[in-house]
Amino acid sequence: MSTAISRTAPTPVTVHSIVPASGATGTYFVPLAVHIPHPASAGTRLAWINPEAGTVLAHAFYYFSTGGTGTVDVGVVSDGTVAGSSFIDGGTMTVQVHYPESVAGTVAASATAGGEDIRYQLVGPGGTGTNNSITITLNEAATSTAVGGMIIHYFPIGR
């Protein structure tokens, strides 16, 4: 018996889709997550531009481990160049995880963990310039000591 390990032993297998026991057909993708920490400074805007070649179904939320006194906006925009608020508009800077909650389709200003509606939105492919990014904007004084970040959870659907 040979003990040598080569590139072909064992034979590599790439799984692109998995068919459930029910026999349903379709393509199954692994969800991806991105963490974007933000610095504590006034008007800071961080952008995540969709790295996929196709459209993704994305959800974004933010957290603070050290709070602040301003507000936060999180939303889908084009090219990450402006403040978006389609996920969270005027969210608080309290120490916790903040999810977009929805009450009759309206995002709560101080969305917090445990919301009923964990909103997902379509984000276009990078390079298109049309709704292809998610931004988080801090609206706080220049002396801010807030520490936190944004987490984006997404599913590639436009491959």
CB 146 within 8 A of CB 40: yes
The region, left, alpha or beta by phi > 0 then psi within -120 to 50, assigned to residue 90 is left
What is the pTM for the complete model shown?
0.70
What is the DSSP secondary structure assignment for residue 28, as one 8-state letter?
Answer: -
Q: Look at domain 32-156 and name its CATH class.
A: mainly beta
In single-letter form, the type of residue at position 24 comes to A
CB 60 within 8 A of CB 151: yes
In angstroms, the first-to-last Cα distance of the chain is 43
Return averaged pLDDT per consecutive 10 residues of the chain, 159 residues in all: 53 53 64 82 79 89 83 86 82 80 47 53 84 86 76 83
Residue 34 confidence (pLDDT): 92
What is the DSSP secondary structure assignment for residue 22, as one 8-state letter?
Answer: T
CA 92 to chain centre: 18
Residue 115 confidence (pLDDT): 43
Residue 49 confidence (pLDDT): 92
- Residues near 119 by Cβ (< 8 Å), separated by ≥ 6? 59, 87, 100, 102, 107
Residue 128 confidence (pLDDT): 80
For the chain, the structural domain boundaries read 32-156
